[in-house]
Amino acid sequence: MQSVIRPLIQKNNTKIILIVLDGVGGLPVNGVTELERANKPNLDKLAQMSACGLHLPVGYGLTPGSGPGHLGLFGYDPIEFQIGRGVLEALGLGIELKKTDIAARCNYATMKNGFITDRRAGRIATEKSKKLTEMLQKEIPSIGNAKVILAPGKEHRFAAILRFPEQLKPDAAAISDTDPQKEGLQPLNPVPLSENAASISKTVERLIQRAQDVLKDEEKANFILMRGFSCMPAIPTFAEAFGLKSLAIAVYPMYRGLARLIEMEAPAIDGNVADEIDFLKKRYNEYDFFFLHVKKVDSYGEDGNFEGKAAEIEAFDKLLPLVLELNPDVLIITGDHSTPALLKSHSWHPVPVLLYSPYVLGRTSSAFTERECLKGELGIFPTYNLLPLALANSLRLKKFGA
Amino acid sequence: MQSVIRPLIQKNNTKIILIVLDGVGGLPVNGVTELERANKPNLDKLAQMSACGLHLPVGYGLTPGSGPGHLGLFGYDPIEFQIGRGVLEALGLGIELKKTDIAARCNYATMKNGFITDRRAGRIATEKSKKLTEMLQKEIPSIGNAKVILAPGKEHRFAAILRFPEQLKPDAAAISDTDPQKEGLQPLNPVPLSENAASISKTVERLIQRAQDVLKDEEKANFILMRGFSCMPAIPTFAEAFGLKSLAIAVYPMYRGLARLIEMEAPAIDGNVADEIDFLKKRYNEYDFFFLHVKKVDSYGEDGNFEGKAAEIEAFDKLLPLVLELNPDVLIITGDHSTPALLKSHSWHPVPVLLYSPYVLGRTSSAFTERECLKGELGIFPTYNLLPLALANSLRLKKFGA
């Protein structure tokens, strides 16, 4: 679809704001969903004037991770553009990846006589893991011509990046996992699955040997397991694809990292949603497109905290007038996926969306809820169509054909 | 889509029941459809608690046969996986096909001086046709290394299967029809349309000559015409595609045959819908997935019997509590296509569907009818998405991407 859209793009001075209430879609508990439970007069009023609908991030029955969820919102088909596990892990830990990087998810593990006896090194404390990772980083700054970058995660987890001096071939990261997935087995060798991965898998082998040497006196964390080798996906930048100068406003590193994948500007910021909106206001004149990420709605959903999630939606509702004051040409409010408190996890359910612009039908939906959005003019549609709708509603797309 | 789903499958102990009311969708006569006419309190109550919608078996405006209709319900794109006419005919006549078989639809015909004067041999009586087929079968048990299997159908129709000793190449059945489609013409030769069909078309030629010889004293049915040469499609099994151990419960051979194409277990059973539900209960502990087929709804539709079709829906409604007693994790009730009594045939109209599980919105549709299902949370969607939805609602699919 991007190839159809690209030649139709025209620039103008309109402003588009996309607000992502992470995991906003829900399911009924005692008959009402989180959105139905929340008292949110501003969102409901806006929904009445907006084009409403539900978007489907990956496909019927498919539950998206945060990566595919956001790529869809940014206008990319998440099945066509898949992001490797290692890359996502690194983005989540705040590492800025380059096109010459190969990233992997790593575990500390316990090895005895050549066999893995604990794949998670007894789930060592995060603090301990952090110290070990700092030690590894200090002892192994590079392997051959590759710079080594390590980032500690929670408990036994960390990310490893090999930064090479030159751009890599797309299949250079095709290397098999070393994690045997079961205890009592030997760790696996990193096997190259493409010609371009051959020399890189050797570098990985040496990294593992060096790490083993550095960790040899550790009681539990005396070995490392690596999986999800991946490099930055070959993906058009957001500016190339849609002709928009864009700013990502997100407190969590993962979402800034996803935005940076497509070269959105994504400065590190801190604070709460009010701070994010402040930041939006300050930078409002400099960009065409703003992605503003609200994390906590999802966090409460993941915790199974129905009331907490509803309260977070209410809290956002109180701040919404600050966004409306900016009078954007197009305002979209939605989620990257559903996270029903009932399921305590992301889910496959389509996500309510409202799109406000001067060029909508409106008056189809009385509130911003799953059931009311079902009545809306956008229907149920693949998520990656939302961005073209934003372009159209900001009059940034020329006619297709004569 | 199956390739996206396969790596996400996880197994658990949930039970999924798919009930197919064959041809259930309809059109208004005196303002109401068959589903709207039927008094069916149990179905309506279930619809109120379910995810409702309409599924589109092949595409907008396309009327499915029973083959594509069911393949879609089983999670296969019926445009990608097409089933040959000969194979469907053989399945419908209750023949268990093997991967080494080539099947064809056959007609008895009348030939005079080398020209076909009646393509249907005067539509000879079914009883007569059966006797002729038995005679042919006795006289021609094999041709070369191919076993010949003949199955009588209605009137002038029968099916012929050539069973070879070895697995065939996918294009081995690419042989042209011998039916000239018009009377007064000569029968056509079976021409091989691929290299792998060359020797097989010779076997077909010899079968036709042998049959002509056996039938030479018949007044009307003195020749056979063959068309729709086909072999079993290359298709992943249901267990491979979706990780489900499955049981098909169907009284008519065609539907068991379709289920066997994807290696569902499909024992021959007899009786009415109550007997089918009894059978479901007896085997409930042994499988993950149950396909239960209700034929008569379609039969009345095909006859143009509006009231009969509505009455069949009512009869099923009375039995529905017996299914609900099993308390399945996911229950889907729908049809494989619409068969409006108004049209006396299958039609292109999307088919109402309800999906009941603990993880639906519900309260969108007040009854199980075409118009009420339109208000539902599933929207109008391609049929092959129903199976992934069943997997999702039984928590059998992991997250896509991280």
SS3 assignment for chain B:
CHHHHHHHECCCCCCEEEEEECCEECCCECCECHHHHCCCHHHHHHHHHCEEEEEECCCCCCCCCHHHHHHHHCCCCCCCCCCCHHHHHHHHCCCCCCCCEEEEEEEEEEEECCEEEECCCCCCCHHHHHHHHHHHHHHCCEECCEEEEEEECCCCEEEEEEECCCCCCCCCCCECCCCCCCCCCCCCCCCECCHHHHHHHHHHHHHHHHHHHHCCCCCCCCEEEEEEEECCCCCCCHHHHHCCCEEEECCCHHHHHHHHHCCCECCCCCCCHHHHHHHHHHCHHHCCEEEEEECHHHHHHHCCCHHHHHHHHHHHHHHHHHHHCCCCCEEEEECCCECCCCCCCCECCCEEEEEECCCCCCCCCCCCCHHHHCCCCCEEEEHHHHHHHHHHHCCCECCECC
B1 touches chain A (CB under 8 A): yes
Whether B3 has its CB under 8 Å from any CB of chain A: the answer is no
Q: pLDDT for B306-316, tens place per residue?
A: 999 999 999 99
pLDDT at B92: 85
pLDDT averaged over chain B? 96
Q: Which residues contact A195 (CB under 8 A, 6 or more apart)?
A: none
Contact of A53 with chain B, judged by CB distance below 8 Å, is answered with no
Question: What is the least distance, in Å, from the CA of A28 to any CA of chain B?
Answer: 6
Q: How far A153 CA lies from chain B's nearest CA (Å)?
A: 15
In terms of pLDDT, which residue wins out, B91 or B378?
B378
Interface test with B, best of A342, A348, A351, A369 (most B CBs within 10 A): A348
Count of pairs with CB atoms under 8 A, one residue in A, one in B? 97
Nearest to B397 among A62, A342, A371 (CB): A62
- Chain B: residue whose CA lies nearest to A254: B402
Residue A276, chain B, CB below 8 Å: the answer is no
> Which tens digits make up the pLDDT trace of A110-142?
999 999 999 999 999 999 999 999 999 999 999
pLDDT 10s digit of each residue in chain A, 402 long? 899 999 999 999 999 999 999 999 999 999 999 999 999 999 999 999 999 999 999 999 999 999 999 999 999 999 999 999 899 889 888 898 998 999 999 999 999 999 999 999 999 999 999 999 999 999 999 999 999 999 998 899 999 999 999 988 889 999 999 999 899 999 999 999 999 999 999 999 999 999 999 999 999 999 999 999 999 888 999 999 999 999 999 999 889 999 999 999 999 999 999 999 999 999 999 999 999 999 999 999 999 999 999 999 999 999 999 999 999 999 999 999 999 999 999 999 999 999 999 999 999 999 999 999 999 999 999 999 999 999 999 999 999 998
Searching chain B, which residue's CA lies closest to the CA of residue A92? B402
In this complex, is the C-beta atom of A61 within 8 Å of any C-beta atom belonging to chain B? yes
Q: Is B388 on the interface with A (CB under 8 A)?
A: yes
- Least CB-CB distance to A60: which of B362, B376, B385? B385
Q: Which pTM was predicted?
A: 0.91
- Shortest CA distance from A36: residue in chain B: B361
Any B CB within 8 A of A220 CB: no
Tell me whether residues A60 and B389 touch, CB distance under 8 A.
yes
Q: Does B359 touch chain A (CB under 8 A)?
A: yes
Residue of A nearest to B9 (CA): A62
Report yes or no: B401 at the A interface, CB cutoff 8 Å: yes
Let me know: does B214 contact B133? Beta carbons within 8 Å.
no
Question: Which residues from B are below 8 Å from A375, CB to CB?
Answer: 375
Q: What is the percentage of chain A residues whose pLDDT exceeds 70?
A: 100
Chain B residues lying within 8 Å of A349, measured CB to CB: 359, 361
From the list B222, B213, B322, the residue with the least C-alpha distance to B274 is B322
* A30 at interface of B, judged by CB pairs closer than 8 A: no
User: Is residue B377 less than 8 Å (CB to CB) from chain A?
Assistant: yes
Q: What is the interface pTM, i.e. ipTM, of the complex? A: 0.90
A88 touches chain B (CB under 8 A): yes
Which chain B residue has its CA at the smallest distance from A87's CA? B402
Our CA-based measurement puts residue A33 at a distance from the nearest CA of chain B, in whole angstroms, of 8
